[in-house]
Amino acid sequence: MNFEKTLQEIRDLQATLQKREKTVARTEEKIRKKKQVLDDACRIVCVRVIKPVSSQDETVVMHIILGSPAVIILDTEQNKFDLPVTLEYSSGREPDECLDEKDIWKIETPLREVLDRELKAEGIPLTFGHLVVPIHYFGK
């Protein structure tokens, strides 16, 4: 067996692999930057919309509190995004009773139409998916 030839093939394969890894790394960085642009645009709309809707709508028992900075969870396959938030009553305390999906649905429903309309007005091709609340809201 020609070990020098085998060694050279290994080197060639490693060089090919390194080139591909660099290409993947560059592509991942491009994706990250493009997602950041969408994140920032959605975040601006959410901050602008959620506070007024949350504080003025009498059907919303709890206020929606965005993180600082607000975080967006993109689903690029379905052109949606989810929004992690915490909830609190007017008094400033978080819920201490057990919430279920229907409770969250009642809170996010007034937002859906407003957010989707504002996203469309800004030319953002995404729709609002769901609010993501801390898991301990469901297990109390």
Query: Highest mean pLDDT: which of 17-31, 52-66, 90-104, 122-136?
Result: 17-31
DSSP state, residue 58: T
pLDDT of residue 28: 97
**CA 80/CA 114 separation, integer angstroms:** 15
Instruction: Tell which wins on pLDDT, 90 or 116.
Output: 116
Burial call 39-76: b when 16+ CB within 10 Å, e when fewer: bebbbebbeebbeebbeeeeebebbbbbeeebebebee
Helical ranges in the chain per DSSP H = 3-56, 101-121
Q: Assign 124 a pLDDT band (cuts: 50, 70, 90).
A: very high
